[in-house]
Amino acid sequence: MNAISSGGHVLALSGGVGGAKLAAGLAAVIPPERLTIAVNTGDDFEHLGLTVCPDIDSVVYAMAGLNDRQRGWGVVDESWRMMEQLRSLGEADWFNLGDRDLAMHIARSWRLRAGESLSAVTARLTNQLGIAHRVVPMSDAPVRTQVETDAGWLDFQHYFVREQCRPVVKAICFSGTPGAGPSAGLAEALARPDLAAVVLCPSNPFLSVDPILAVDGVRQALLSLKVPRIAVSPLIGGKALKGPLSKMLDELGFEGSNTAIAAHYGALISHLVIDRTDEDGALALRASGLQVTLAETLMKSSEDQARLARDVLTAAGVE
């Protein structure tokens, strides 16, 4: 596939699995020097002495072609011997760590502990895996998403994995913000004179994109940009493909439609890409002043990812 060769820099904001699909598509059509992918770290947590960064890993695995498409998360050709042994030692087994995946957490954790920044560690690991594009954490300071539920405040992974998103969500906060500045890579991308567009990947707006927006100065920087800020909706046919988004929209009092996504992002976005099956809602969205593009937003293959990436760039006027 030919790479798009001219026309300025693109900044993509991504969460994990949903965002990673479009991030990988963008990387397939934009050369490395023209793309920065800034990834949510609000899901990061300390587990069994390791620092786990699930969204960075989802993006890295997708871009390195190491992601397991069948399971929908984690590493392909995975095995689980370590988990079996861990269980037999009586340790916590609610968070699955595959044998291959574990290498990532070990490689990251010891270097962080030796004093390297998360940005430096991420650059090293992506480089080692042959990823030429810039994948940067949203911040080098720890930000930890917490979810207020009918079962009280829960650390993000306790809500998401241990409790499998069952508790009813009332509110979300990002501990560490304010006070966490953008990583050098994100700050640089936001300040680039040749920045041509910002893409909000089809990640969960509340859990994956909002933490990035909560990083000091990011929301204001985006609002002051004169370039297209284009979000791809994570809803298809009014429903999230996976994860708690649909349930959360309901619990937080939003309707399950692109109107809610548009209302949530408000003035942060100038463009919204929605699925063709949701065409009915386009008129009302356009009346609210948004530029709306219909596209096939379901990404099952690398071809789908690259096609949607091209549609997004075209809608944003980036060549």
Q: How far apart are CA 148 and CA 304, in angstroms?
A: 36
Please say whether the beta carbons of 15 and 41 come within 8 A: no
CB of 42 to Ca ion, least distance (A): 8
Choose the contact partner of 248 out of ligand GDP, Ca ion, none; CB within 5 to 8 A by kind.
none
Tokens of 70: 């069948």
Q: Should residue 244 be labelled a site residue for Ca ion when binding is judged by CB under 5 A?
A: no
Please state the closest distance from residue 127 (CB atom) to Ca ion, in A: 23
Point out which span in 25-33, 103-111, 176-184, 202-210 binds ligand GDP (CB under 6 A).
202-210
Cβ 79 to ligand GDP, closest distance in Å?
22
For Ca ion, the binding residues in 88-107 under the rule CB under 5 A are none
Of residues 30 and 207, the one with the C-beta less far from Ca ion? 207
Nearer residue to ligand GDP within complex by CB, 182 or 202: 202
What does DSSP assign to residue 287? H
Q: Who's near 16: CB < 8 A, 6+ residues apart?
A: 40, 43, 54, 55, 57, 58, 59, 73, 203, 208
Q: Does 34 bind ligand GDP (CB under 6 A)?
A: no
Half-sphere exposure of 163 (CA within 13 A, CB side): 20
Is 44 a binding residue for ligand GDP by CB under 6 A? The answer is no
Residues in the chain: 319
Q: How far apart are CA 264 and CA 281, in angstroms?
A: 16
- Is residue 229 within 8 A of residue 196, CB to CB? The reply is no
Applying CB under 6 A, which of residues 71, 170, 242, 276 lies at the interface with ligand GDP? 242
Stretch of 50-58, 75-83, 181-189, 290-298 lying at the interface with Ca ion (CB under 5 A): 50-58
Buried b (16+ CB within 10 A) or exposed e, 149-165: beeeebbbbbbbbeeeb
**Does 257 contact ligand GDP by CB under 6 A?**
no
Query: Could you say whether residue 43 binds Ca ion (CB under 5 A)?
Result: yes
234 binds Ca ion (CB under 5 A): no
Report the C-alpha gap between 73 and 66 in whole angstroms. Answer: 10
Site string for Ca ion, 1-40 (x = CB under 5 A): --------------xx------------------------
Q: Does 37 help bind ligand GDP (rule: CB under 6 A)? A: no
Residue 228 binds ligand GDP (CB under 6 A): no
Question: What beta strand segments (E) does the chain contain?
Answer: 9-14, 35-39, 45-47, 50-52, 134-137, 144-149, 152-155, 169-175, 195-200, 229-232, 235-236, 239-240, 271-275, 291-295
> Which residues bind to Ca ion, rule: CB under 5 A?
15-16, 43, 55
> Which residues bind to ligand GDP, rule: CB under 6 A?
15-19, 21, 55, 58, 202-204, 207-208, 232-234, 236, 240-243, 245, 297-299
